[in-house]
A and B are shown apart, each in its own frame.
Chain A
Amino acid sequence: MLEAVPRFPISVKVNGKAYQLEVEPRLLLVDLLREELDLTGTHIGCDTSFCGACTVLLHGSSVKSCTVFAVQADGGEILTVEGLEKDGVLNALQQAFAEHHGLQCGYCTPGVLISGYQLLSTNSKPSENEIRKAIAGNTCRCTGYQNIIKAITSAAGKVS
């Protein structure tokens, strides 16, 4: 067995706020967010790179934060579900999820919102097929996909 391994200094910007920390190399990005920064909006679902509940944006691209080491995110800008609302006003996509009943138990929602947000940030008029492909890495265990697709469709063109 190894003796204690040295911690590694990292700096990240999460939802616009800068943090400097020293982390264990094996710390996963999702645990950095939840355990160190108290940002528990990002969920751990399967913890095996499958379900996408832990999806966040890193450098503007969606990643599964259970499959990224915190040290890999060093110097990066991260957006989590907490960063979608601005001054207490829900993002248009979040509002659409409320209006179209785009969540049932809500466990997958933080990840689905980030995947939907990334899609709509780059494509203001996605086809249903494009939406389905964009959320293929997100599993809704309640199987509420129809309303998720309706919600993303209705928010198209409104997400900034």
Chain B
Amino acid sequence: MYPRAFRYYRAKSLQEATALLAELRTDAKVLAGGQSLIPLMKLRLSNPSNLVDLGFVPKLAYIEKESSRGNVLFGPMTRHAEIAASTVSREIPILHDCAAGIADVQIRNMGTIGGSLAEADPTGDWAPVLLTLSAKLRLVGTRGERWISLPAFITDAFTTVLAADELISEVSIPVPPARSGGAYIALKRCAQVYASASVAVQLEMQDNSTCKRAHIRLGAIGLTPTEVAEAETELRGKEVSNQNIGRAAEAASATAQPQSDMRGSADYKRHVVGALTRQALQVALRRSRGESVEVSHQYA
């Protein structure tokens, strides 16, 4: 299968890429890893006349810990596989849960964190995870740079605030405070397919058993990652007991408004949300106590 013919532009810098995009306006797409864009183009669901390739711009793939402010910075072209193998994802295991489970080895070797966020696919893995970590994005356009929080960046399914000439130039997350633990679990039929549902949780604990703050986001359930404030309320300021974990899971399940489709009925997905929330909270609690626990995407 061939995509429609397009003109290929290879940017040498982000500045050149934004200038090209400003000139080409809306009939251009940005090529990062291409693992979603190329299949869409082959199926002719996306038919851009122009493609601007970021793959040859130097120094866009990196994972750095800022010494001064304690943030972790990701270059937009950092591959999922690089994140999975990084020291940072051992220190913040929710990053490993996500990066090591996206699709399959081959896709993780090409696909990028910036591409995934810019596509804003409702079933994307990074958005729910990075939302629980309070991520910010640096955007660059022909008129300069701006920082934006992730909730403000994603406005709808496959829709972001990116202007025609703008690109994600960096992803930043604050290192979670001490006594924090997170987990991300997605349930899917097999490696390559979209998840039926996914749950990202991040607990910040006051002590071994009391929760100070809880962040919970659902993926693949709505047009954008779903907030579940009711579930967070079941934990905030309370003991993270099995009973309260159960209540939070029930609240997450009740808040979820999934649609029935080929990945499961709405009832099934609501049930999956409850089960995944319970499991992710249990893992996050153990991790907040310094335990090493391995989880990732699960196949049903």
A residues adjacent to B (C-beta < 8 A): 2, 4-6, 8, 24-26, 28, 47-50, 52, 55, 61-64, 66-69, 71-72, 74, 115, 118, 133-134, 136-138
Give CA–CA (A133, B191) in the complex, Å: 9
Task: Evaluate whether A63 and B110 lie within 8 angstroms (CB atoms) in the complex, with A49-B39, A72-B53, A136-B191 already known.
Answer: yes
A67 touches B191 (CB 8 A): no
B39 to chain A, nearest CB (A): 5
The yes or no answer to B292 lying at the interface (CB within 8 A) is no
21 A-B contacts (beta carbon < 8 Å)? A2-B7, A5-B5, A25-B7, A26-B4, A26-B6, A26-B41, A28-B38, A47-B1, A48-B1, A49-B38, A49-B39, A61-B110, A63-B109, A64-B110, A66-B42, A67-B35, A67-B38, A68-B34, A69-B8, A118-B105, A137-B107
Task: Evaluate whether A26 and B2 lie within 8 angstroms (CB atoms) in the complex, with A72-B53, A136-B190 already known.
Answer: yes
B2 touches A72 (CB 8 A): no
* A24 surroundings in chain B (CB, below 8 A): 5
Q: Choose among B35, B105, B191 the residue that contacts A62 (Cβ–Cβ < 8 A).
A: B105
* A72 surroundings in chain B (CB, below 8 A): 31, 34, 53, 55
A118 to chain B, nearest CB (A): 7
* A55 surroundings in chain B (CB, below 8 A): 106
* A67 surroundings in chain B (CB, below 8 A): 34-35, 38-39, 107, 110
B residues adjacent to A (C-beta < 8 A): 1-8, 10, 31, 34-35, 38-39, 41-43, 49, 51, 53, 55-56, 81, 103-107, 109-110, 190-192
B104 touches A137 (CB 8 A): yes
* A69 surroundings in chain B (CB, below 8 A): 8, 31, 34, 38
Q: Choose among A6, A71, A115 the residue that contacts B106 (Cβ–Cβ < 8 A).
A: A115
Residue of B nearest to A136 (CB): B191
Give CA–CA (A97, B32) in the complex, Å: 36
B106 touches A62 (CB 8 A): yes
Residue of B nearest to A74 (CB): B56
A114 to chain B, nearest CB (A): 9
A48 touches B42 (CB 8 A): yes
Give CA–CA (A63, B79) in the complex, Å: 12
Task: Evaluate whether A25 and B107 lie within 8 angstroms (CB atoms) in the complex, with A68-B34, A71-B53 already known.
Answer: no
B55 touches A49 (CB 8 A): no
Q: Choose among B8, B34, B106, B191 the residue that contacts A25 (Cβ–Cβ < 8 A).
A: B8
Q: Which of B7, B8, B35, B51 has the most CB of A within 10 A?
A: B8
B192 touches A50 (CB 8 A): yes
B8 touches A8 (CB 8 A): yes
* B42 surroundings in chain A (CB, below 8 A): 47-48, 66
B109 touches A5 (CB 8 A): no
* B81 surroundings in chain A (CB, below 8 A): 61
Q: Which of A48, A50, A136, A138 has the most CB of B within 10 A?
A: A136
B262 to chain A, nearest CB (A): 14
Give CA–CA (A71, B8) in the complex, Å: 9
Task: Evaluate whether A6 and B53 lie within 8 angstroms (CB atoms) in the complex, with A47-B1, A61-B109, A136-B190 already known.
Answer: no
* B1 surroundings in chain A (CB, below 8 A): 47-48
Residue of A nearest to B35 (CB): A67
Give CA–CA (A71, B53) in the complex, Å: 9
* A4 surroundings in chain B (CB, below 8 A): 5
A137 touches B192 (CB 8 A): yes
* A52 surroundings in chain B (CB, below 8 A): 104, 106
A25 to chain B, nearest CB (A): 3
Give CA–CA (A67, B38) in the complex, Å: 6
Task: Evaluate whether A2 and B49 lie within 8 angstroms (CB atoms) in the complex, with A49-B39, A137-B107 already known.
Answer: yes
A5 touches B6 (CB 8 A): yes
B105 touches A137 (CB 8 A): yes
A48 to chain B, nearest CB (A): 6
